[in-house]
Amino acid sequence: MTILALVLLCNNDVKMKANLGLIALIVWALSVVLLGYFFVRGWTSAASDQRTAIHLAPAERDLVLGEMRQMLHSVHNLVTGLSAGDAKIMEQAARSSGMAMAADANPLLMAKLPLDFKRQGLSVHRDFDSLAEKIAGGADQATVLREFTGITARCVGCHTSYRLP
């Protein structure tokens, strides 16, 4: 009798462990799917003006908009350097919006931004660095302008698609 009870108990224990294992697996699979979903879609909704609204906490929004104003500053300095024919000013302007600017990105903010936004944002920083290299290598005015309009086209493209409500 005691042996039978013990066998039943053990059996139950094994079953419970199997169930727990299954639950853990389901929770794990759900979190992978959820994480993947947010990694691609970000924290977004449709906005009233056809754009995609990205929902950020106030401090995250301030950070992103601060980077934007820094990039506008780079645009202004670059054009200033270009009109003055001053390569040093141009190089510095481009460099200050390069990849170094994106290095301090926090993981939660990254999760909220859609994949396409992250891709466009990173490519703009990369293009600023590559422009700085070309200026340092002695690129002429026409080349700098051509590369530069490639960058401003990206500013326009992203602003057409996204907003921070």
Q: Which residues bind ligand HEC (CB under 6 A)?
A: 65, 68-69, 71-72, 75, 117, 120-121, 124, 151, 154-155, 158-159, 162-164
Q: How far is the CB of 10 from ligand HEC (least distance, A)?
A: 58
d(CA 127, CA 135): 12
The nearer residue to ligand HEC, 105 or 164, going by C-beta atoms, is 164
Can you tell me which residue has the tokens 């013990």?
Answer: 6
DSSP state of 98: S
Closest to ligand HEC by CB, 17 vs 73, is 73
To ligand HEC, the closest distance from the beta carbon of 79 in angstroms equals: 11
Residue 55 Cβ, how far from ligand HEC at the closest point, in Å? Answer: 11
Take residue 159 and report the two structure tokens written for it: 């602003």
DSSP for 19-43, written as a single string: HHHHHHHHHHHHHHHHHHHHHHH-S
